[in-house]
Chains A and B, each alone.
Chain A
Amino acid sequence: MKKEILKFENINLIYHTNQGETLALKDVNFSVYDGEFIAIVGPSGCGKTTILSLISGILTPTSGKIYIDGEETRKAQKKNLNSNIGYMFQKDHLFEWRNIWKNVTLGIELQKKKKDENLLKTADNLLNKYGLSQFKNSKPSELSGGMRQRAALIRTLALNPKLLLLDEPFSALDFQTRLNVCDNVYEIIKNEKKTAILVTHDISEAVSLADRVIILSTRPGTVKKEVEIHLEKYKTPLKKRESKESHDYFDEIWKELVIYDKKE
């Protein structure tokens, strides 16, 4: 049995605003194990982003417990917690006024670890490895969409996080680029042996990338079903996408989502 990296235990989350309170998550339970690639799918507004915010410590649960590396997050020092987690957003959010190197080392700079040769070397290696070394001194505007997303991923990886949170990181890209970047990101994450949680609207994407797909219900979000994906024999997400088995997985997940829509 692999090591449990993350655990949600009866998590509830209520948003309080002037318009009233919104129960976003209700009794959410799931675990993530070391080296796994998890995809979370669910209808719009079901609380996917909320789950990632909870993991990263930007939000705290209304009730329930979150364990990271076996430690309850509320007790754990927030500082420790954050440096174990890398967050990647829908847009690359590269800072246009910084060159790629300065963008990639932003986290290192923020945490005042500029003197840490190892971290800087890691960042440098990542850039070399994934074909961005000659763009170190370029401004983000000189890069293509796919390259930008890769740079954003390397920025996230530069702090050497254990757990990667990806909130629809491909949805801003056009379809062609998207398939490419998917392959790239998958390769990088698997090479670097990271645990990743991907939020997506796209079922094919979920099936082609993840080892396990967690399906959420409409709001208030709760775990409807978990589907294990066994497509290990296909090496890249693109090949997985093309495989026959992937269609069966697609149908299985699709049904869950559609049933929920009908009930509404």
Chain B
Amino acid sequence: MKKILKFFNFKEKIRKKKQIKLNYSKEHLKFLKKNKTNKLITHSIRILILVAIFGFWELFTRVGILDPFFVSSPSRMIETIKSLNSTGELFTHISITLYETVIGFVLATGIGYLFAVLLWWSEKLRNVLDPYIVVLNSLPKIALGPIIIIWVGAGTKAIIVMCILICVIITTLSILGSFLSCDKDKILLMKSMNARKHQIFFKLIIPNSMPDFISVLKINVGMSWVGTIMGEYLVSKAGLGYLIVYGGTVFKLDLVMTSTVILCFLAGLMYFIVSRIEAHFKK
């Protein structure tokens, strides 16, 4: 826990801010204050929108403008969460989906990255494999569902594989693109200083591609959720995707809505973590 706090660097930041403030002119302090107010307003409006959506949702279902059977309602969702929680199901479903997504995300990013490194290293390999990658990239991965199930079984493994398939090619393509877009003169500069290929790679290509890597991470957060939920639609007996499918087939819209909202929350959280990592690197 301490480590996490340290990572987010809250204390340090506040201390620094205070220190810096002392040196600012009056005008600049005014400007900062205005900036802060603007930020506050933006944040408040954001929260207001959220409250409004849920508030009207609740209101409209109560007065009968909307039928809660079709759209559910916030209070019903809270009930659903409570009942799921009392049996411990809620935690199980969330943790299963989260587990699949995180594993899928990490493996897909890792494998995709390694593959990009290989392709950067060998131009020949790159040229040979080019058409295959293009075809794989445009193939709708969901079509591979039955094959995956037969090969690895209709369980968690299949879901993770689906998640990996969805993220991995685009990861490879983006990272490789970033590797290859490195300024030719910069490479020449390294060569003129006698750099070996691995030195060029580790001291130039990789740090140079860092910003693109972060955006790939951000994209993969979204994609890995798509992969996992799609996988769960196909095979699962547990998880948020399963809850949604199950809720849909038995017409329990409360369950569907609740799971969807939880999904939104989790995806947002994961995105937040990645953007913290980004901020950490940008310093």
Contact = CB atoms under 8 A, between A and B. Distances in A.
Interface residues on A, range: 20 to 34
B207 interface: yes
B192 interface: yes
B111 interface: no
Interface stretch (A27-35, A83-91, A227-235): A83-91
B192 A56 contact: yes
Contact of A89 (B189, B194, B204, B207): B189
Interface stretch (B98-106, B133-141, B180-188): B180-188
Interface in B175-232: 183, 185-186, 188-195, 199, 203-204, 207-208, 210
Given A87-B188, A93-B186, A106 B207 contact: no
A110 B192 contact: no
A90 to B, nearest CB: 7
Most buried by A among B189, B190, B204: B189
Contact of A97 (B190, B193, B194, B207): B207
B191 A106 contact: no
Contacts of B199: 110
Contacts, number: 47
A87 B194 contact: no
A15 B207 CA distance: 32
A151 interface: no
Interface residues on B, range: 10 to 19
Nearest to B195: A110
Nearest to A98: B207
A73 to B, nearest CB: 14
Interface string A94-110: 01010000000011011
Contact of B191 (A58, A79, A109, A159): A58
Nearest to B200: A110
A82 interface: yes
A82 B203 contact: no
Contacts of A82: 192-194
A107 B195 CA distance: 8
A89 B187 CA distance: 11
A106 B188 contact: no
A95 B192 contact: no
A191 interface: no
B194 A83 contact: yes
**B interface majority secondary structure:** helix
Given A82-B194, A87-B192, A110 B203 contact: yes
Nearest to A107: B193
A19 interface: no
A111 interface: yes
B190 A110 contact: yes
B193 A89 contact: no
A93 B194 contact: no
Nearest to A92: B189
Nearest to B207: A97
A86 B191 CA distance: 11
A85 B194 contact: no
A82 B120 CA distance: 25
Contacts of A89: 185, 188-189
B271 to A, nearest CB: 24
A87 B190 CA distance: 10
A79 B194 contact: yes
Nearest to A106: B193
A28 B186 CA distance: 28
Interface in B150-185: 183, 185
Given A79-B194, A82-B194, A111-B194, A97 B210 contact: yes
Contacts of A109: 203
B262 to A, nearest CB: 38
A226 to B, nearest CB: 26
A85 B188 CA distance: 13
A106 B192 CA distance: 12
Interface in A52-91: 56, 58, 79, 82-83, 85-87, 89-91
Contacts of B193: 82, 87, 106-107, 110-111, 159
A76 to B, nearest CB: 14
Nearest to A102: B203
A24 to B, nearest CB: 16
B210 to A, nearest CB: 7
B189 A93 contact: yes
Contacts of A87: 188-189, 192-193
Nearest to A91: B185
Given A87-B189, A159-B193, 10 more contacts: A58-B188, A58-B192, A89-B189, A95-B207, A97-B207, A106-B203, A107-B194, A110-B203, A111-B193, A111-B194
Listed from nearest, the 5 A-B pairs whose CB atoms lie closest are A87-B192, A107-B193, A97-B207, A110-B195, A82-B194
12 contacts: A56-B192, A58-B192, A87-B189, A87-B193, A89-B189, A91-B183, A95-B186, A95-B207, A97-B207, A109-B203, A110-B190, A110-B203
